[in-house]
Amino acid sequence: MTALAPSQSDANAPRLVRGGGRGGRNRPALGRGKGLLLPVLLLVLWEALSRFGVFAPNLLPAPSKVLGAIADLAVTGELLEHIAITLYRVALGFLIGGAAATLLGAATGYSRTARELLDPLLQSLRNIPSIAWVPLFILWLGIYEASKVTLIATGVFFPVYLNLMSGIQNVDRKLVEVGRVYRLSGLQLVRRVLLPATLPTYIVGLRSGLGLGWMFVVAAEYMGASKGLGFLLVDGQMTGRPQIIIGSIALFAIFGKLTDLLLATVGERFLTWQDSFSSNHTRASADAADR
């Protein structure tokens, strides 16, 4: 932690403590784990109730059974394949959808002409339910990877596009004017004012895009796959193995959370400057310096 103080060693000098960084930096270790408390408690309860026969094993198998089934898959190496292909599809769809959304969102946010031209069309496409695309994508792109990745990319596209466009449109006009005072070119203005100012909403867009990516990968793998966590889900249903169904749901939750955490952590590094309720910074006695 860096403490900043004016050069004079005045005892009354204001001290600024650099805030930002990770949310729970100064909290005791116990505080960080608080979010795990309830899930662990529920798991224990679930296990106990299953063992006492309250839950029918063919409807809701015990957590230990689920874990066992997943472990069996892991031992044969099959699980890794499923996870890898699903991650690959989400990653590729996220990259393609995110990139397209970034380009179009930047264009429609920055240029009025582009907005008037493109936005009405994109907004109406947004209202089409994801599953409705499935037959069309299969018809056009076949049943293999291309149609799946396209479906995921479609899901990722809209939140990223919307957030970026509105983010750019909502950049403080007054900051843009500072850019004008210093005679920044269009590109310089984008790089030095618009882009950093838009970053917070852009990251929100990327995170919700990734969330939709995970939703759409299930839809994509439902529509016919021989591998992947979504396939595992369907397979569990077909073969009457509820432990596999629950296991794949849990794996979706875990990987969805992990990838979101990754994105959030990367994002936070760029957003330490934000003055928000959650950034628990210390403004302390800065006002005193004016007196």
Partner 1 sequence: MLRIDDLSKRFDSGVKALETVTLTVGQSEIVSLVGTSGCGKSTLLRIVGGLDFPTSGSVLIDDEPVAAPRPEIGIVFQEPRLMPWLSVADNVKFGIEDQPRPVKDELATAALAKVGLTGFAEALPRQLSGGMAQRVAIARALVTRPSILLLDEPFSALDAFTRLKLQDHLLQTWEFDRPTMLFVTHDIDEALVLSDRIIVMRGHPGRIHQEYTVDLPRPRRRTDAAFQLWKERLLTDLDLSVEA
> Is the Cβ of residue 154 or residue 163 nearer to partner 1 in the bound state?
163
Six-digit token pair at 269? 């590094």
7 binds partner 1 (CB under 8 A): yes
**At closest approach, how far in Å is the CB of 32 from partner 1?**
25
Pairwise CA distance, residues 208 & 214, whole Å: 10
Strand partners, 16: 4
Between the alpha carbon of residue 35 and those of residues 14, 16, 52, 180, the distances in Å are 36, 31, 27, 47
280 binds partner 1 (CB under 8 A): no
**At closest approach, how far in Å is the CB of 276 from partner 1?**
9
Using CA atoms of 196, 200, 203, 209 in order, give the dihedral in degrees to the nearest 10.
-130
278 binds partner 1 (CB under 8 A): no
Binding piece for partner 1, criterion CB under 8 A, among 5-13, 68-76, 121-129, 232-240: 5-13
Report the candidate in 186, 206, 190, 179 with the shortest Cα–Cα distance to residue 271. 206
Can you tell me whether residue 3 is helix, strand or coil? strand
> Is the Cβ of residue 18 or residue 32 nearer to partner 1 in the bound state?
18
End-to-end CA distance of the chain: 27
- For residue 289, the one-letter residue type is A
Site for partner 1 in 258-277 (CB under 8 A): 272-275
Pairwise CA distance, residues 80 & 210, whole Å: 21
2 binds partner 1 (CB under 8 A): yes
**At closest approach, how far in Å is the CB of 23 from partner 1?**
16
**At closest approach, how far in Å is the CB of 284 from partner 1?**
9
**At closest approach, how far in Å is the CB of 164 from partner 1?**
17
**At closest approach, how far in Å is the CB of 174 from partner 1?**
5
Between the alpha carbon of residue 240 and those of residues 65, 74, 221, 255, 276, the distances in Å are 14, 19, 18, 24, 49
Site for partner 1 in 142-181 (CB under 8 A): 174-175, 177-178, 180-181
Q: How many chain residues interact with partner 1 (CB under 8 A)?
A: 36
Q: How many whole angstroms from its chain centre is CA 245?
A: 24
The binder of partner 1 chosen from 88, 115, 141, 192 (CB under 8 A): 192
Q: Per-residue x/- marks for partner 1, 13-52, CB under 8 A?
A: ---x-xxx--------------------------------
Strand partners, 282: 17
Counted residue by residue, the chain has a size of 291
Can you give the binding site for partner 1, defined by CB under 8 A?
2, 4-8, 16, 18-20, 174-175, 177-178, 180-183, 192-193, 196-197, 199, 272-275, 281-283, 286-291
